[in-house]
Amino acid sequence: MDALIEEYGRGYAMIRKAIEGLAEEELRFKPAPDKWSIHHILIHVTDAEVLSTHRLKKVLAEQEPLLLSFDQDAWANGLGYDLLDREQYLLLFQLLRSSMQPILDHLTNEQSERVGVYDDAERCTFKQLLEFRVEHVRGHLAQIERVREAYRQSKV
């Protein structure tokens, strides 16, 4: 659990490192019309973090709470991700992660096994939800690298 909490705490720094030195053109580049730019990915990661922080807290505070999902493409399209301020979203991501740190620092084994239930009846422990957050960032860091490579290839 310690390694998981440590990586969760490094999420913001990992994202910052992945986009360090990128020009606006590269951040806004879409590898295909139906694919996300790095800008879109960063907004999405933060939107997902808002909802996931809520889920994590519900599981710790409530008895087997209902956990809700969201339609990521509907959010990206319906909220106009192109128009949103990436730096504000990155700051929000950083604040959400740092706000969870004191809770995680004092997490007990019993708390890590508390359960939340999704509307499809899937049951997840707090530990599993935290693992999903770490995996989510890892997955999008890999996606950012793929978009960066597509951008480089488009310039050859």
**In the sheet that 123-125 helps form, which strands lie side by side, from edge to edge?**
66-67, 115-118, 123-125
The predicted structure's pLDDT at residue 156:
84
What is the C-alpha to C-alpha distance for residues 52 and 68, in angstroms, rounded to an integer?
A: 9
The predicted structure's pLDDT at residue 56:
97
The predicted structure's pLDDT at residue 151:
97
Rounded alpha-carbon distances, angstroms, from residue 132 to 8, 21, 121: 10, 28, 17
The predicted structure's pLDDT at residue 65:
97
The predicted structure's pLDDT at residue 6:
96
Domains delineated in the chain? 2-154 (1.20.120.450)
Return the exposure string of 27-44: e unless at least 16 CB atoms fall within 10 Å of the residue's CB, then b.
bebebeeeebbbbbbbbb
Look up residue 101 and give its amino acid: Q
The pLDDT profile of the chain, 156 residues, written as one tens digit per residue, is 899 999 999 999 999 999 999 999 999 999 999 999 999 999 999 999 999 999 999 999 999 999 998 999 999 999 999 999 999 999 999 999 999 999 999 999 999 999 999 988 899 999 999 999 999 999 999 999 999 999 999 988
The predicted structure's pLDDT at residue 119:
86
